[in-house]
Structure 1
């Protein structure tokens, strides 16, 4: 039973994630991270980060948006009424 629980927890570590590459992608390791705020199971955005603003004047960067473990935990504790995600811009 413990093996099944451990395997399930490893497979479900990130509910979803997607990556967008702008220009030639990240040229360094400079990261900026912000939370995006959604309500009603993620259907209605309340405050969403702007990746262009987070990148500043960089022309080449990578945007990674995901629901982290902490985001999923917060969503579970609020029964999905508040469902945050995390956006990370790497320049």
Structure 2
């Protein structure tokens, strides 16, 4: 039983973060960034509050959207045992 508990703890510590990037138009031309958290519950299955990248771009036609689960997001998710699973979205114009 002790071995199973240790293996479970290690598997939780070794889980990776994910990220994906979307390029709109020709992509970011500058380095102006806006960052917001997205809020999900039940291991990310149910969105509660998700940021709108188009609104975050504030009318820009060329921008880059980077969505990821950062270390802090993963830590919060781990502390809540996956009941609350945030991600971070950054829009670069």
TM-score by length of 1: 0.85
Matched positions, count? 81
Instruction: Output the CA distance in 1 between the equivalents of 2:27 and 2:87.
Output: 21
* CA RMSD after TM alignment: 1.4
- Structure 1 or 2, whichever has the larger Rg, is 2
5 Å-filtered alignment, 1:26-37, equals 26-37=28-39
Provide Cα deviations, 1:62-87, integer angstroms capped at 9, x if missing partner.
00000000000000000000000000
Structure 1 segments unaligned to the other structure (5+ residues): 1-8
Instruction: Output the CA distance in 2 between the equivalents of 1:15 and 1:41.
Output: 14
Structure 2 segments unaligned to the other structure (5+ residues): 1-12
